[in-house]
């Protein structure tokens, strides 16, 4: 009878999992249906995390708020029409979407903005490194890898995955004609993505399971540094006698000249150019961003009764050093770590109270 009990048990567990999935799905749909943040509100929330990039954040938040508001409203109607069947509602919901391309130097917040947006909206997020694709250059297999990742991020729930955000990092590395990457497979990889970005119906093979997963409502964001893209734009502007900031004059043609497939560029109609972070931005990131490494260290030390404080000069010194590294805000983490490592090792258990780090300390520690 052992077998019978375990069978019953197994069945109960399966039912429980199915119920949990259904609840999760219902919750995800409800969250989208009730999504009512205006672009302004979404940006206000975003400002707590992403510092600077004012112009870029406006465009991003507008595109994302519109996408999910539109999807939510359509889903609401779909749910009413289908008598509350999520599957049918999602299938019958037809909304146009505007995928986003973010261009900007390394470590300036492209991925961070996208991931923060997914958290704020409450949808799944996957991050795909496109350099992997140019190395392998095998299209079919990898495109479906992305869907498997998305499904995993959605807790194995296809209907949750269908409403998520997919972020293509280093999209510029699959350009076909760039000087640095003479990658013959780039073109093929780009073509392979078209279908998915468009919003196709796909079948994902997960072990023995075959799961159908449509990308129709998935928001795709592609980010890259696009080194020397500015030169291409500025040259064209000069040829055409156009004056002004190149970032406001970027066209699809410029991206095609860079080496992107026109068909792919056309599927990312919202284009955002992020700025190099200034010393002031870097300082503000340390003191204001909720994702700040400094705030995390401060918080950690507090647990040992230590109140860490960096003087204004010390903050400027760290920001200045990070700026010369040209790795954006990523530099802050390693520099702060180098500055504080010794104290974080030595102080807990030996010291309590206020601990001030000034400019001299920073200079000493960094040499
Ligand atoms: N504008 C910003 N405000 C706050 N934190 C930032 C900002 N930019 C970057 N960061 C911090 O630096 C980290 C790296 O940034 P992110 O991953 O967004 O870089 P990226 O622009 O995608 O660069 P890459 O082109 O190298 O992928 C983030 O996780 C975040 O902690
Ligand atoms: Mg990135």
Find the CATH number of the domain harbouring 79: 3.40.50.300
| Cα(284) to centroid(ligand 1), Å | 13
Say which ligand is closest to the CA of 127: 2
| Cα(223) to centroid(ligand 2), Å | 7
Q: Are residues 94 and 189 in the same domain?
A: yes
Are 128 and 149 a contacting pair, CB within 8 Å? Answer: yes
Q: Are residues 257 and 174 in the same domain?
A: yes
Q: Are residues 153 and 207 in the same domain?
A: yes
Q: Are residues 343 and 261 in the same domain?
A: no
User: Around Cβ 83, how many Cβ atoms within 10 Å?
Assistant: 8
| Mutation pick for ligand 1 pocket among 46, 106, 107 (CB with most ligand atoms within 8 Å) | 107
* CA 209/CA 227 separation, integer angstroms: 42
* CA 82/CA 76 separation, integer angstroms: 10
| Cα(110) to centroid(ligand 1), Å | 6
* CA 353/CA 101 separation, integer angstroms: 47
| Cα(127) to centroid(ligand 2), Å | 9
Tokens representing residue 335 in the block: 């520099």
Report the number of distinct structural domains present in the chain: 2
Strands across the sheet with 270-273, in order?
Answer: 125-129, 165-169, 219-224, 100-103, 270-273
Q: Are residues 294 and 265 in the same domain?
A: no
Range of the domain at 362: 279-366
Q: What is the DSSP string of 102-125?
A: EE--TTSSHHHHHHHHHHHHT--E
Domain final residue pick, 248, 273, 298: 273
Q: Are residues 183 and 327 in the same domain?
A: no
Domain final residue pick, 273, 306, 326: 273
Q: Are residues 320 and 249 in the same domain?
A: no
**pTM for the full predicted model:** 0.90
Tokens representing residue 179 in the block: 């000087």
Are 273 and 104 a contacting pair, CB within 8 Å? Answer: yes
Q: For every one of its 367 residues, what pLDDT tens digit does the chain have, with 9 covering 90 and above?
A: 455 678 888 888 888 888 888 888 888 889 999 999 999 999 999 999 999 999 999 999 999 999 999 999 988 998 888 888 888 888 888 888 889 999 999 999 999 999 999 999 999 999 998 887 755 555 445 677 888 899 999 988 888 999 999 999 999 988 865 444 445 556 777 777 888 898 888 888 877 788 888 899 999 999 999 999 999 999 999 999 999 999 999 999 999 999 898 999 999 999 999 999 999 999 999 999 999 999 999 999 999 999 999 999 999 999 999 999 999 999 999 999 999 999 999 999 999 999 999 999 999 999 8
Neighbouring residues of 148: CB distance < 8 A, sequence distance ≥ 6: 204, 206
Nearest CA to ligand 1 atom 4: 50
Question: For ligand 1, which residues put their CB under 6 angstroms from it?
Answer: 50-53, 104, 106-112, 169, 223, 225, 285, 289, 291, 328-330
Neighbouring residues of 143: CB distance < 8 A, sequence distance ≥ 6: 192, 193, 195, 196
Q: Are residues 264 and 290 in the same domain?
A: no
Say which ligand is closest to the CA of 283: 1
- How much is the pLDDT for 182? 46
Residue 35 has phi, psi (to 5 degrees) of -60, 120
């Amino acid at each position: 009878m052992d077998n019978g009990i375990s069978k019953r048990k197994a069945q109960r567990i399966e039912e429980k999992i199915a119920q949990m999935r259904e609840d999760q799905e219902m919750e995800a749909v409800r969250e989208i249906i009730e999504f009512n943040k205006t672009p302004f509100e979404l940006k206000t929330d975003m400002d707590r995390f992403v510092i600077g990039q004012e112009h870029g954040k406006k465009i991003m938040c507008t595109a994302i708020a519109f996408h999910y508001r539109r999807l939510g409203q359509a889903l609401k109607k779909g749910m009413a029409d289908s008598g509350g069947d999520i599957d049918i509602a999602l299938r019958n919901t037809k909304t146009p979407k505007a995928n986003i391309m973010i261009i900007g130097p390394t470590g300036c917040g492209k991925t961070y903005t996208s991931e923060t947006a997914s958290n704020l909206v409450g949808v799944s997020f996957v991050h795909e490194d496109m350099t992997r694709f140019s190395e392998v250059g095998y299209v079919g297999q990898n495109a479906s890898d992305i869907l498997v990742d998305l499904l995993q991020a959605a807790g194995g729930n296809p209907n949750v995955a269908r409403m998520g955000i997919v972020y293509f990092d280093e999209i510029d590395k699959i350009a076909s004609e760039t000087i640095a990457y003479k990658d013959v497979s780039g073109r093929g990889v780009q073509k392979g993505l078209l279908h998915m970005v468009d919003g196709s119906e796909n079948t994902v093979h997960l072990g023995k399971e075959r799961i159908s997963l449509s990308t129709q409502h998935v928001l795709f964001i592609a980010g890259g540094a696009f080194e020397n893209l500015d030169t291409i734009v500025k040259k064209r502007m000069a040829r055409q006698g156009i004056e002004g900031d190149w970032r406001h004059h970027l066209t699809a043609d410029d991206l095609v000249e860079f080496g992107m497939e026109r068909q792919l560029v056309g599927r990312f109609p919202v284009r955002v150019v992020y700025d190099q972070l200034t010393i002031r931005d870097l300082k503000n990131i340390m003191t204001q961003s909720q994702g700040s490494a400094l705030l995390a260290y401060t918080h950690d030390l507090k647990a040992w009764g230590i109140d860490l404080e960096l003087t204004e000069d010390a903050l400027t010194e760290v920001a200045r050093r990070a700026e010369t590294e040209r790795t954006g805000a990523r530099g802050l983490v390693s520099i702060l770590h180098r500055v504080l490592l010794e104290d974080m090792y030595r102080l807990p258990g030996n010291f309590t109270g206020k601990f001030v780090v000034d400019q001299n300390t920073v200079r000493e520690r960094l040499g």
